[in-house]
């Protein structure tokens, strides 16, 4: 009998809430990583979307993001204190959850944003990438943790060495070969130390 009720619940939930994708963090490093998610379209911090956690070696954690969001960024922090603050790399203003969307995190990011190139080009998609592109003409962002990002459809990009391929990760703003896009929804896996 319980199976006759479950589908009704699912229909009601999807009618009330917009669809979402999941950012799943996997820590394959031998050390603890503090993953974070923030929103900063055009570099403007917006705390309406944010997440932070502590992830010991071999741990995983996930966070859901509305498909329509733009300027979503995720990264890993290392060497944080017991409050998830004052991290050695990837640090933000705030504690385990950042107050500034990580705009000064100064490390490799996974980035996600809604886009619609029109019906002949697949309609609404999530555009995503790994990025070490400089901020405000500064230096290339450091690779603080070797990183791989896999989309919901299995497309994968990675930056695991200091000279990571420019069709895998933005090193400069015009490395458009690093851009990927996928159907809305699903799960993105951001792996530390793949
Ligand atoms: C971050 O914001 C929280 C509340 O939103 C506040 O308690 C905390 O002091 C802030 N931290 C910093 C470092 O600004
Ligand atoms: C990476 O993708 C995000 C989301 O689509 C976008 O906002 C960002 O500008 C892209 N990064 C670069 C360096 O173009």
pLDDT in tens, the chain (194 residues): 344 444 444 444 444 456 999 999 999 999 999 999 999 999 999 999 999 999 999 999 999 999 999 999 999 999 999 999 999 999 999 999 999 999 999 999 999 999 998 999 899 999 999 999 998 889 999 999 999 999 999 999 999 998 899 999 999 999 999 999 999 999 999 999 99
Ligand 1 lined by 94 (C-beta under 6 Å): yes
CATH no. of 9-137+180-192: 2.60.110.10
Measured in degrees and rounded to the nearest 5, phi and psi for residue 118 equal 100, 155
Pick the atom of ligand 2 nearest to 71's CA. Answer: 7
Say how many Å lie between the CA of residue 109 and the centre of ligand 2: 10
Which pLDDT score is estimated for 163? 84
Please say whether the beta carbons of 119 and 14 come within 8 A. Answer: no
Of 52, 94, 101, 102, best ligand 1 pocket probe by most atoms within 8 Å of the beta carbon: 94
Ligand 2 binding residues, C-beta < 6 A: 71, 111-113, 127-129, 131, 133, 170, 173
Measured in degrees and rounded to the nearest 5, phi and psi for residue 178 equal -85, -10
Coil, helix or strand at residue 194: coil
Ligand 1 lined by 93 (C-beta under 6 Å): yes
CA angle 99, 102, 103 (to 5 degrees): 110
Q: Which ligand is nearest to the CA of 96?
A: 1
Please say whether the beta carbons of 109 and 75 come within 8 A. Answer: yes
Q: What is the pLDDT of residues 130-142, one digit of tens each?
A: 999 998 889 999 9
Which pLDDT score is estimated for 18? 66
In angstroms, what CA-CA distances link 89 with 24, 86, 93, 155? 20, 9, 12, 27
Please say whether the beta carbons of 191 and 58 come within 8 A. Answer: no
Own/partner contacts of 86-95, CB < 8 Å, gap of 24 or more, are 87/34, 89/142, 89/144, 89/145, 90/34, 90/36, 90/144, 90/145, 92/36, 92/38, 94/52, 95/52
Question: Nearest C-alpha to atom 4 of ligand 1 is from which residue?
Answer: 99
Q: Where are the alpha helices (DSSP H) in 30-134?
A: none
Say how many Å lie between the CA of residue 96 and the centre of ligand 1: 10
Structure tokens at 1: 């009998």
Which residues, in sequence order, are CB contacts of 73 under 8 Å at separation 6+? Answer: 37, 38, 39, 40, 101, 102, 109, 110, 111, 112
Which residues, in sequence order, are CB contacts of 153 under 8 Å at separation 6+? Answer: 182, 183, 186
Say how many Å lie between the CA of residue 124 and the centre of ligand 1: 35
Say how many Å lie between the CA of residue 10 and the centre of ligand 2: 33
* CA gap 31, 123 in Å, rounded: 41
- Of the candidates 41, 63, 51, 64, the one whose C-alpha atom is nearest the C-alpha of residue 98 is 51
* CA gap 14, 8 in Å, rounded: 10
Q: What is the pLDDT of residues 101-126, one digit of tens each?
A: 999 999 999 999 999 989 998 999 99
pTM: 0.89
Which pLDDT score is estimated for 14? 44
Length of the chain: 194
Which pLDDT score is estimated for 3? 45
Which pLDDT score is estimated for 136? 85
Q: Which ligand is nearest to the CA of 43?
A: 2
């Amino acid at each position: 009998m319980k199976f006759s009720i479950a589908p009704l619940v699912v229909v009601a939930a999807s009618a009330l809430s917009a669809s979402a994708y999941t950012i799943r963090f996997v820590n394959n490093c031998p050390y603890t990583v503090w993953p974070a998610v923030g929103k900063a379209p055009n570099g403007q911090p917006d705390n309406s979307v944010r997440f932070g956690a502590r992830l010991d070696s071999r741990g995983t954690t996930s966070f859901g993001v509305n498909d329509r969001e733009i300027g979503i960024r995720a990264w890993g922090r290392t060497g944080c204190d017991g409050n998830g603050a004052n991290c050695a790399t990837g640090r933000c203003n705030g504690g385990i959850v950042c107050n500034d969307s990580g705009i000064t995190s100064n490390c490799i990011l996974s980035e996600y944003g809604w886009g619609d190139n029109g019906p002949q080009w697949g309609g609404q998609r999530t555009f995503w990438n790994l990025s070490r592109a400089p901020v405000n003409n500064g230096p290339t962002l450091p690779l603080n943790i070797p990183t791989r990002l896999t989309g919901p459809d299995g497309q994968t990009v990675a930056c695991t060495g200091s000279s990571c391929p420019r069709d895998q990760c933005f090193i400069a703003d015009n490395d458009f070969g690093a851009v990927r896009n996928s159907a809305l929804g699903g799960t993105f896996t951001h792996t530390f130390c793949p």
